[in-house]
Structure 1
Amino acid sequence: FHVSGLLANPTRLAHVGNCTAAATGEGPGGHGHINTSIVGGFDGRGGFPFQDAEGYQRGQGVNPLGRIAGTRIFVGNTFDNSACSGSDTGVLQHVWQQGARINTNSWGCSSCASSYDDSSQAYDVGVRDADLGAAGNQELIVVFSAGNSGSSAGTIGSPGNGKNMITVGASENDRPSDESGSWTDGCDVGPTGADDAMDVISFSSRGPAPGNRKKPEVIAPGTHIQGTASTNAGYTGGSVCDQYRPGGQLTFAASSGTSHSTPAVAGVTSLVYWWIENGHAGGLSAPPGPALAKAYLMAHPTYLTGVSANDTLPSNSQGYGMPNLAALFDNSEKYLLDQSHVFDNSGETWTWVGMVDDPTRPVRIALAYTDKAGAIGTSPQVNNVNLAAVVAGSSYLGNVFSGQWSTTGGAADAANNYEAIFLPVGTTGAIEITVTAANIA
């Protein structure tokens, strides 16, 4: 994790935190290490094992230039936040105070899937204000794994079943074999579970979340994922599927799970953060708030068409689809609005009028807002803001889709705090977007 991958250069690892009772922030299982590698590893070395047979860098993360950090919250398989006030709130405060602005989480309580619990609530609060002891709001973009309890419905555990974080499911990878041959990993994911990125893998947890909300928001490959193995002297590989993979080397590990699709999306989110902050999208030149970051990811997807996909968006399997980097960072015309208009009362509206800029590209409109945390054990919705658009004389409502494209008719979405309208290539004419405060509690 050094600049340019060279040990002689400064480290990009800004902090190794420890919220547990263990002596150090480094665990022996390798789970946190491989996920950090997925977010931001840098490796420019050539040949085996650093490059695979197709020339891809095994150790290259999604954002190989970003600053990264880690905080330990497990001892073995036991969750432990005792050194951070013994609370989710304490963990959030710790990561914020150490400088984090994006927080990726590959953990959760699978048995808590049916309930909006105290952890769901704490992380919903933390997205808006991660440090309750400091004045004002300390916004934190939080990314959570959906969990590995699929393929049944309603299996996304807490805290990832909350409202304000970005929750990530897992598709297959396209890596059924490697230099060691046909591949069945230590988590029993075989070649057919890693041969088509358009398939949603069976273990990926599905929505709906409490309150009949759609989850996850997005999806990314989560099988036969490779990254660097931990260099800790006590490394056991007990928290990854394959301690080392491929054979004949001790540099890289491999694993499967939404634990590993999630840091990929976190890495993409960090690129989005930089892109918007530096004025490359929609005229803004400031760090995006958590809701804008979520909406931007939602608005630039690849629609999955394979097994357990090819469904109507937003779906409880793929959300809006897989973040598409080419679309996220292209030169298409974009208009972004980030917390600059305030609704004080139910019934208020905001309207934007424009024209389709380029009919050779799809039109994508996305709305997300950070909702007030709900009451524990309830349907957690508090406020309700709705999206609508009139395009070339046809009316569309947020989240009313047929397959991957919006359709006319339907009803306003009262369940989700994010909505979208997607129109295909060939759309022309005037656009009038209306956002309505259906309920301000």
Structure 2
Amino acid sequence: MEGASADEVVAMHARAADAAAFSLAEASEDQLSAALAAMADRLDDARVELADANAADLAAAKDAGMSPALLDRLQLDAPRIQALGDNLRLLADTEPLPRETPVRELPGGLLLIERRRPVGVIGVNYEARPNVTIDVASQLVKSRNAGVLRTGSAAIGSAGALHRLVIEPALRSAGLDPAALQLIGRPGREYAGALVRQPELIRLVILRGSGETTAALGAEAARHGVRVLAHAEGGGVLYVDAAADEATARRLVREGTDRLGVCNRVNLVLVAEPIADLLEPVLRAELAAAGIAVSAPPLAHPIGHEWALDDGNEATVTMLRVPDALAAAQLANTETSGLAATVVTEDAGTARQFLDRYRGTGAFWNATTRLLDGHKLLAVPETGINVDHMPGPRGPVTYADLHLRQYLVQPVAPPDRR
């Protein structure tokens, strides 16, 4: 479609996915499992080609001055390919959810059944992380949904190789229509905007990423009547209580900052006033040993500033003192995204105070916020993490969330048509 607008290009992909959607909707469970297992096998078979495509993306990104944290997101190395394959095999073996569940009998000899139906075509916009291409594709296959995928320009080469060498042939080998999963292979943010302007073709868009861009896409989707599952902001909170074990606090600081370009890393460290003079220097030393700077009062930025998105300053955390657990939870509620928070304490009563007051998506006691991840928590890949304050999918969104509920009423004993 030479000369076509972004909206026209996205609409073309959406129509192609829609035309092939029945292939997934009507597939047997064995076919879906076979497709996922074949993706895992083809990841192994295509390691050399995938490495070449990713190396080209990385070289171009370095030349363009991409920060180390973002380069880390872009990398598709052997361990990450291995992890993708392991996740695919795990998902292939995951017991399918029931497509129909009897609810109750109604008067007049009728039976109410709740059915799980595919959404149809789901749009997905995600940052320059090649591995997300496979994560998302696998979730769509498992949930029987077609999809239109769009990634950041820096990862187009890697994503294209994954789509061409892994996803398409795997679907074909399982007897499924490879057109059900489309990838927009053109660079440009205009395609992200077009993805949320197709209400007749794409009624749900998963926005995986963080920051102002995702928030703007969510607003654009609302103007066009397109529903989104958005991950607009991230950043984990670590509250170190007066009854904290020092070794545990030090460990959780290390675990929470092992990767700096991810949403569930420790972003804000809160220390209880009674132990601040003693423990702050210990935590600062732990961070300094990892090459991480501390931003402390007076702050020149909002308390919940997300360092993972601060190009060049990703290796930073904010550190503040708070009176107690209730104050820490309240600050986490009002000043951060509400993604995740950890309380570090040996006092069960204090832990319960914090956990009951905190309203965020993931709440942890003596455990790292890095666990807020579909695979780590639920043993299946995720399409993203939703932090909405409303009923529906919240936290890691997996294939189990990507369906429509339909109520079927039929006779308790359907007539025999023979």
Question: Common fold, TM-score beyond 0.5?
Answer: no
Structure number with higher helix proportion: 2
TM-score by length of 1: 0.25
Q: Which has the larger radius of gyration?
A: 2
TM-score by length of 2: 0.26
Higher RCO (CA < 8 A, seq sep 6+): 2
